[in-house]
Amino acid sequence: MKNREVAGVLYQISELLELHAENRFKVIAYSRAARSIESQKEDIEVVCREGRLDAIPGVGKAIAQKVEEYLKTGKIQVHQDLLQNTPAGLAELLQISGLGPKTIFMLHEKLEVNNLDDLEKAAREHRIRRLPRMGATSEKNILKAVERYKKRSTRILWSAAEPIVDEVSGYLRTISGLENITAGGSFRRARETVGDIDILATASRPEEAISAFVRMPLVEEVLGKGPTKGSVIVKETVQVDLRIVEPRSYGTALQYFTGSKDHNVHLRQVALDRGYSLSEYSLKRLSDGRDLFFDKEDDVYAFLGLPAIPPELREDRGEIEAAAAGRLPQLVDLKDIRGDLHVHSSWSDGRGSVEEMAREALALGYEYIAVSDHSPSVGIAGGLSPEKLDRKIEAIAALNETLKGFTVLVGTEVDIRADGRLDYPDEILAKCDVVVASVHMAQQQKERTITGRLISAIENEHVDIIGHPTGRIIGKRDPYDVDMPAVLEAAARTGTAMEINAYPNRLDLNEVWARTAKEMGVKMSINSDAHDPEQLKVMRFGVKVARRGWLERKDLLNALGLQELIRALKP
Ligand SMILES: [Zn+2]
Ligand SMILES: [Zn+2]
């Protein structure tokens, strides 16, 4: 499938257009089309051949033509022209905080800045301060931003942003007169990674609140401080902004600063169609220019004829249409989770006994866990021999006698070997209540081979769940080459579930594949893959992914009660 390749070219066009300060709507149109094509489960070449390109959401006539051009000739003229006109290295400068496309363009025109090194040199030689609207301060800020950019490894995991948000919000709550403290942006939408953290609040004395914010003990650097906005760096590389808004505008402001950009563009269009201009400040009636203020975000949506849209859905992936039609999903919640079907214990490489894992799960309000230890070929992880598995089964039976209102299920995380065979024979798998099958070895194999391995595991009559289905580790390891639509098709056909591994740097399946799986009728299970009792709590990160993937309670195995679960599992 060329979907990812085509999407990559469209993304690049969007970025280059932005660098050349082209029309905003054009910039967004390309990135929207790219994302849509990236998440299409159908082969883009087939769609193109059948003349259905413009039926893909976000792909209009003009972009459809470009996609066709690419599939026929291997390139897009507009893209080639943009590349010709953009020195390599210039696009990277878009990543430097505080440098907009217009400024980059000026630096390029006036100072022949073509890359990061040129930029740094120009700043050190004090050539930037002589440009219009620049000065010694902007020069210093650019150098600092370059420093930070070199240090930072891009975005941080949502799970790493969470304690920072908690700490900052906790501090802000001690400032008197500061209220309605909420972190917006990609944090509120619960993207798997977060860039800057944007906090919104109201204050009786805004300037004092900002001063207190930039003096917080955890601040390492102050990037900026104005009457209603402060910007700081904490934990070496994380930028946190505090913005104070008027109470009467809090609803529109929170909506605006939660984003996403694409969702907001679409929502503004909905407002325009009704004769209003939506901004962070108000809804302005176009007929007479009168401002309507909203202190609650839900009221903004209600005024536009829409129910409240959960932040996790605000990516312009059909949520506004669904809201208008009254078809928003009832998103799953952490409290809907009744158990965890993939945890490890000290029988293999876990650091808690089965009983310790069970006690913690009980404390979390669960009804069951499946203790799914490794199989023999994962030797370094203490995989269980068939004899040891038998002893574990006996121990679990004895433990269950002592537990009230809670059941430990016998699980296994059986390895899918390089040749596609499972690491236990069927008669051993038959002894387990829950069989999770995962790829751990030979992840570099060709797409056809890995896909074949996963499908043969799915077709096994005992395999209930495929563990961490793409193997990716965020920021460390790419997903293996796997034909996911083919895998999901096999899962749908055989009633095999896919895991959403909740481990914070796995989150695998991701939101896009989770939504596709749901649409194909595949059930999922959000599992912690916990290796000690404390790690059971990572479940909440998986729930975020499920919400961003539009999942409801009925899509999840582990939202079932024990008896329903047992009926839903393969024998
Ligand atoms: Zn595993
Ligand atoms: Zn595991």
Residues 138 and 167 in one domain: no
Tell me, in angstroms, the distance from the centre of ligand 1 to residue 442's CA: 13
Pairing of strands 291-292, 276-278: unpaired
Tell me, in angstroms, the distance from the centre of ligand 1 to residue 382's CA: 12
Tell me, in angstroms, the distance from the centre of ligand 2 to residue 411's CA: 11
Residue type for position 140: K
Cβ contacts of residue 457 below 8 Å, gap of 6+? 416, 420, 422, 437, 463, 466
Tell me, in angstroms, the distance from the centre of ligand 2 to residue 372's CA: 7
Among 31-45, 159-173, 264-278, where is mean pLDDT lowest? Answer: 31-45
pLDDT exceeds cutoff 90 at 333: yes
Tell me, in angstroms, the distance from the centre of ligand 1 to residue 319's CA: 33
Residues 299 and 359 in one domain: no
Q: Scanning the structure block, which residue is given the tokens 């149109």?
A: 29
How many Å apart are CA 86 and CA 81, to the nearest integer? 9
* Any domain includes 381: yes
Tell me, in angstroms, the distance from the centre of ligand 1 to residue 418's CA: 14
Q: Which residues pair with 242 in a beta bridge?
A: 199, 230
Q: Given strand 497-501, what is the order of strands in its sheet? A: 339-343, 368-374, 407-415, 434-438, 465-466, 497-501, 524-527
How many Å apart are CA 14 and CA 211, to the nearest integer? 38
Residues 243/244/248/251 CA torsion (nearest 10 deg): 30
What ligand is nearest to the CA atom of residue 440?
1
Q: What is the pLDDT of residue 25?
A: 87
Query: pLDDT tens across 443-483, in order?
Result: 989 999 999 999 999 999 999 999 999 999 987 888 999 99
* Any domain includes 309: yes
Tell me, in angstroms, the distance from the centre of ligand 2 to residue 43's CA: 32
How many Å apart are CA 216 and CA 270, to the nearest integer? 40
Domain C-terminal end among 244, 265, 300: 244
| 387-to-172, 393, 428, 495 alpha-carbon distances in Å | 57, 10, 10, 30
**Apex CA 542: angle with CA 538 and CA 548, to 5°?**
145
Residues 30 and 162 in one domain: no
What ligand is nearest to the CA atom of residue 344?
2
Residues 509 and 369 in one domain: yes
How many Å apart are CA 462 and CA 429, to the nearest integer? 6
Q: What CATH number is given to the structural domain containing 121?
A: 1.10.150.20
Tokens, residue 309: 């849209």
Residues 505 and 520 in one domain: yes
Tell me, in angstroms, the distance from the centre of ligand 1 to residue 416's CA: 10
Q: What is the pLDDT of residue 154?
A: 63
Tell me, in angstroms, the distance from the centre of ligand 2 to residue 326's CA: 39
How many Å apart are CA 568 and CA 138, to the nearest integer? 62
How many Å apart are CA 81 and CA 491, to the nearest integer? 44
Q: What is the pLDDT of residue 89?
A: 81
Pairing of strands 193-194, 434-438: unpaired
Tokens, residue 493: 């056909």
What ligand is nearest to the CA atom of residue 343?
2
Residues 402 and 351 in one domain: yes
Domain holding 390, by residue range, is 334-568
Query: pLDDT tens across 363-400, in order?
Result: 999 999 999 999 998 766 788 999 999 999 999 999 99
Q: What CATH number is given to the structural domain containing 258?
A: 3.30.210.10
Helix (H) or strand (E) holding 293: none
Residue type for position 367: E
Pairing of strands 229-234, 193-194: unpaired
Q: What is the pLDDT of residue 151?
A: 67
Q: Which of 290, 313, 390 is nearest to 347 (CA)?
A: 390
This prediction's pTM: 0.76
Tell me, in angstroms, the distance from the centre of ligand 1 to residue 220's CA: 38
Q: What is the mean pLDDT of residues 399-407?
A: 95
Q: What is the mean pLDDT of residues 207-234?
A: 92
Q: What is the pLDDT of residue 42?
A: 83
* Any domain includes 329: no
Tell me, in angstroms, the distance from the centre of ligand 2 to residue 370's CA: 11
Domain C-terminal end among 244, 276, 297: 244
Domain count for the chain:
5
Query: pLDDT tens across 117-156, in order?
Result: 899 999 999 999 999 889 999 999 999 888 877 765 468 9
Domain C-terminal end among 49, 84, 119: 84
Q: What is the pLDDT of residue 88?
A: 67
Tell me, in angstroms, the distance from the centre of ligand 2 to residue 437's CA: 9
Query: pLDDT tens across 490-542, in order?
Result: 999 999 999 999 999 999 999 999 999 999 999 999 999 999 999 999 999 99
Tell me, in angstroms, the distance from the centre of ligand 1 to residue 348's CA: 12
Tell me, in angstroms, the distance from the centre of ligand 2 to residue 160's CA: 21
